[in-house]
A = this chain, B = another copy of it.
């Protein structure tokens, strides 16, 4: 962040919303698995592991609504539904992966701060 300005209050809210939007329990994982290939619903679910059908549906619907994911239905029987990232979805991954890099590089500093804090406050 530039030293001599800070975000406007309304922009802060927009950023918080985007962070929590993308930071919900499954979105990053779904977007990551769709990052390089188109996947069907059940294949996606199998790869993620541990996600309920309901939450995968919800997560994909929200991503579709925001224009991050495309949903394609093959009207076969039984139906086959596949998902892929849109251009916008790919673009979103860039700033998110920057934050991912930062998190990977600095998680040990956060861990240290936490254990230091906990040591001081627990006794």
Q: Is the interface of A mostly helix, strand, loop or mixed?
A: helix
Give CA–CA (A48, B40) in the complex, Å.
45
Given A23-B19, A65-B114, A117-B65, A100 contacting B28 (CB threshold 8 A): no
Copies of this chain in its oligomeric complex: 2
- Tally chain A residues at the interface, Cβ within 8 Å: 61
A22-44: CB near B (< 8 Å → 1, else 0) gives 11111111001101100000000
Closest to A29 in B: B12
Give CA–CA (A3, B32) in the complex, Å.
11
12 further A-B pairs in the complex, CB-CB below 8 A; given A1-B96, A16-B26: A1-B32, A1-B90, A14-B104, A15-B28, A15-B100, A16-B25, A18-B23, A18-B99, A19-B23, A19-B28, A67-B110, A67-B117
